[in-house]
Amino acid sequence: MKKLCPECKTVKDDSEFKDNLCKECTPLPSFEPRVMSEEEKEFERHIDDDYNVINHFYSAKRKHPNIPFYLRDERGNTCEFGWSLIYQYIENCNQ
């Protein structure tokens, strides 16, 4: 069945209409940008920092596969950084 679009005054198939206007004349939904809270920004910064550390570890491990790598946390504790620590981190992120 054919219909007349009141906006552009063209005749089109019924399947090309949405809310009484043809698809070309139907306005796009407006999207408001979402503003992140400070807590969300801080969480994203932590993820970015963690990704950066893992990326450096992976790059260094390809060049020096037998050298141990150590990581110091905010409290000053030092631990050996390796694949097991990365897998624990990923597991905690998925929970």
Query: Which pLDDT belongs to residue 38?
Result: 93
Query: Which pLDDT belongs to residue 39?
Result: 92
Please state, rounded to an integer, the average pLDDT across all residues of the chain: 83
Domain boundaries, the chain: 1-30, 32-95
Query: Which pLDDT belongs to residue 82?
Result: 83
Sign, CA dihedral 15-16-21-27, equals positive
Residue 15, pLDDT > 80, answer no
Residue 34, pLDDT > 80, answer yes
Q: What is the mean pLDDT of residues 48-71?
A: 86
Comparison of pLDDT for 45 and 71, the residue scoring more: 45
